[in-house]
């Protein structure tokens, strides 16, 4: 799989101009930023909280907070990364409030060895897309990522779904690069293991 | 290279940040170890399937509702 590292310089400049205008009170410039990133922010919030109402509230809160705190955006990072960081904080806060999963922090889940060692070695044949229809496949993907511990789910979402670089993910989560890499490996392996229950070749490979 | 070594290189491998010498070793290991070959292939499919499928709907109606709410508050001074 090719490396997907964003070229920051290309993406920063148009946003920086919009942010500058928004800082001067130009709501149209801010509206353009909202249009550009509302889907991404909603998706991040939905992935982390696994709750649609929460994701709706968080999406609003993120942009309102961003608008209030525009002056604090220094332009050291991409505007989208800054927004994502706010979305992650808001989402984790919601999870804590819901208390469905004891305490929720980026430091939890690290101790678990669950899924760190692959156990299912069946090939995925035919391809999942050939096995399942679009709706069924989406349901499987939703159920599977829902079962991941929030800390792993968040890293996987930012790095693999939202395509943030490892460094941007580390920055958004307040983690070190090695910590992101370690969580990402666990997240990918756990998802692989869980998806294999649905996608494994029948009558082939080891039993799960 | 052992299977454990292979796993420890997996993240850098997918991120295209692996040292060329190690890459050659990973490729050699995968040719010789069927289990790791499967892990590599199915992990790669795991990443791409999540990347390619939008699993949460974001219908226009919801988008417009959220958008209007955000902008109304911003114009009102938040």
pLDDT along chain B (78 residues), means of 10: 94 93 96 97 97 92 93 81
Mean residue pLDDT of chain A comes to 86
Distance from CA of A104 to the nearest CA of B (A): 23
Q: How many residues does chain A have?
A: 208
**CB pair distance less than 8 Å for A60 and B10:** no
CB A114 within 8 A of CB A149: no
Q: Would you say residue A69 has pLDDT above 70?
A: yes
Q: What are the pLDDT digits (tens) for A40-54?
A: 999 999 999 999 999
Among candidates B15, B42, B66 on the partner chain, residue whose Cβ is nearest the Cβ of A56:
B66
Give the span between the Cα atoms of A196 and A208, in whole angstroms: 8
Centre a 10 Å sphere on the Cβ of residue B26 and count the other Cβ atoms it contains. 21
Residue of A nearest to B65 (CA): A56
Q: Residue A77: is its pLDDT beyond 90?
A: no
Closest-CA distance of chain B to residue A84, Å:
17
CA distance A121 to chain B (A): 6
For residues A62-82, average pLDDT:
92
- pLDDT at position A4: 47
Find out whether A66 and A83 touch, Cβ atoms under 8 Å: yes
In a 3-state reduction of DSSP, which class is residue A10? helix
H helix count then E strand count, chain B: 4, 0
Q: How confident is the model at residue A115 (pLDDT cuts 50, 70, 90)?
A: low
In tens, the pLDDT along A78-104 reads 899 999 999 999 999 998 888 655 555
Kindly tell me the number of DSSP H helices and DSSP E strands found in chain A.
9, 0
Q: What pLDDT, on the 0 to 100 scale, is given for residue A1? A: 47
At what angle are helices B3-14 and A177-199 packed, to 10 degrees?
100
Query: pLDDT-derived band of residue A76, with 50, 70 and 90 as boundaries?
Result: confident
Which of A13-17, A33-37, A69-73 is least confident?
A: A13-17
Which residues of chain B neighbour A59 with C-beta distances below 8 Å?
66, 70
Q: How far is CA A22 from the centre of its chain?
A: 26
Is it the case that residue A206 has pLDDT exceeding 70? no
- Partners of B69 on chain A (C-beta within 8 Å) are 60
Query: How far, in Å, CA of A164 to CA of A50, rounded?
Result: 20
Give one word for B62, left, alpha or beta, with left for phi > 0 and alpha for psi -120 to 50.
Answer: alpha
- pLDDT category, A2, cuts 50, 70, 90? very low
Q: CA A175, A50, A187, A108: dihedral to nearest 10 degrees?
A: 50
């Amino acid at each position: 799989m090719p490396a997907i590292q964003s070229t920051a310089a290309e993406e920063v400049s148009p946003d920086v101009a919009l942010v500058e205008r928004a800082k001067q009170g130009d709501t149209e410039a801010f509206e353009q930023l909202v249009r550009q990133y509302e889907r991404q922010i909603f998706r991040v919030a939905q992935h982390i909280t696994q709750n649609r109402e929460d994701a709706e509230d968080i999406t609003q809160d993120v942009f309102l907070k961003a608008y209030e705190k525009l002056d604090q955006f220094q332009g050291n990072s991409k505007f989208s990364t800054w927004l994502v960081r706010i979305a992650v904080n808001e989402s984790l806060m919601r999870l804590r409030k819901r208390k469905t999963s004891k305490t929720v922090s980026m430091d939890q889940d690290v101790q678990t060895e669950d899924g760190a060692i692959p156990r299912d070695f069946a090939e995925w044949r035919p391809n999942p897309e050939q096995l399942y229809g679009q709706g069924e496949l989406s349901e499987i993907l939703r159920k599977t990522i829902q079962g991941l511990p929030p800390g792993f789910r968040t890293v996987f979402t930012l790095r693999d779904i939202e395509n943030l670089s490892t460094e941007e993910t580390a920055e958004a989560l307040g983690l070190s690069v090695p910590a992101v890499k370690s969580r990402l490996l666990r997240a990918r392996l756990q998802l692989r293991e869980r998806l294999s229950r649905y996608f494994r070749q029948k009558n082939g490979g080891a039993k799960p | 290279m052992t299977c454990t070594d292979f796993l420890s290189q997996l993240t850098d491998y997918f991120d295209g940040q692996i040292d060329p010498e190690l890459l050659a070793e990973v490729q050699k290991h995968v040719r010789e170890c069927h289990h790791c070959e499967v892990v590599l292939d199915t992990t790669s499919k795991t990443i791409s399937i999540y990347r390619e499928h939008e699993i949460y709907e974001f219908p226009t109606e919801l988008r417009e509702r959220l958008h209007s709410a955000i902008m109304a508050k911003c114009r009102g001074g938040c």
